[in-house]
Structure 1
């Protein structure tokens, strides 16, 4: 694999377990015991992915994520959030644009590794599609929108599963109207994004490849 993954969690027990899992799969794991140490490491190291816990003190995962995204040197690093804490509809709405996936604790190793591979595969595919679109002379704003939609749709689909499961909606549990509205709004958001993505894919297919004409 030869990819560097920075694990950020204030539990040394969890960090040690994740280091062992990632090492066995050929990744190069680094570790930080909190948000401040994570930001310090990022001053000298740019990992291929950050595995970031939400429930940390004094700086929690969301605040750490915000600082990562505000720094031009680190803003594009993919971030996989994980937590034993139930993610709320408000958190999903506020942070879904800035994360690349979410997994729950206790971490299922197969689920974690699948999520990591999915993130890397998606970024590679988008990179190739971006290059192809540029070769066809497509406007860069369209390319950027396409890349953003592809990532956001996958993240939102995963968050939707998490929200439906944690709320108990799928098993007939009584759910608050706020949670139901949040889930329905996320479903609507995904449908709108999928519709726009189909439009962009059609546009991509209609643009002639200028590189073949030269």
Structure 2
């Protein structure tokens, strides 16, 4: 049974997600603030953290940075589960730290699908890393494969959210120049990462 830490400063919202997770067969642990989350991580090692952004006094992004800069907790996957619209700046700054960004409210099925997708992606990447090590691939290349396999997938997910949020394909909606430039830059970055990942997959003898 996977343990999932739910972090939100609204007790009502925490209770809702705890109930949803219990119903889905997970083992939820409740936390009602960023500092409490960091304190709980001293005693537990969850399989996933569901983290809200709009909390006080420590918001979700600050909590995330604390998690990811701590060698003891940085490998724990974090999914942002929030009502706050994602901005291009946030996608670029925090995309390397998170596994997904899911908007509230969400259904049981959407939540379960997102969680299982993250857990299966990590399992798949871990299997690829294990096979590469057995094949004698250099550690530096393996580390790059592990990083790119996750970041490409997450970045594409964040890009879809941004494109939907800012309606780039809708001619009737005017998008700020800075936002459009940031999204185009993100598209180019993803393309370059995909090309490099494809090179590494060929080196591993794996078809994309």
TM-score (norm 2): 0.96
Aligned ranges 1:1-214 → 2 under 5 Å: 2-172=1-171, 173-205=173-205
Question: Which SS does the other structure have where 2:49 is aligned?
Answer: strand
Q: What is the CA distance between 1:74 and its match in structure 2?
A: 0.5
Question: Which SS does the other structure have where 2:127 is aligned?
Answer: helix
State how far apart, in whole Å, the 2-side matches of 1:108 and 1:185 are: 32
State how far apart, in whole Å, the 2-side matches of 1:53 and 1:14 are: 10
Structure 2 gaps, min length 5? none
Q: What is the CA distance between 1:60 and its match in structure 2?
A: 0.2
State how far apart, in whole Å, the 2-side matches of 1:183 and 1:111 are: 25
Q: How many residues align?
A: 205
TM-score (norm 1): 0.93
State how far apart, in whole Å, the 2-side matches of 1:104 and 1:39 are: 23
Q: What is the CA distance between 1:34 and its match in structure 2?
A: 0.7
Q: What is the CA distance between 1:193 and its match in structure 2?
A: 0.8
Structure 1 gaps, min length 5? 207-214
State how far apart, in whole Å, the 1-side matches of 2:69 and 2:180 are: 32
CA RMSD of aligned residues (A): 1.1
State how far apart, in whole Å, the 2-side matches of 1:44 and 1:95 are: 25
State how far apart, in whole Å, the 1-side matches of 2:176 and 2:112 are: 33
Question: Which SS does the other structure have where 1:98 is aligned?
Answer: coil
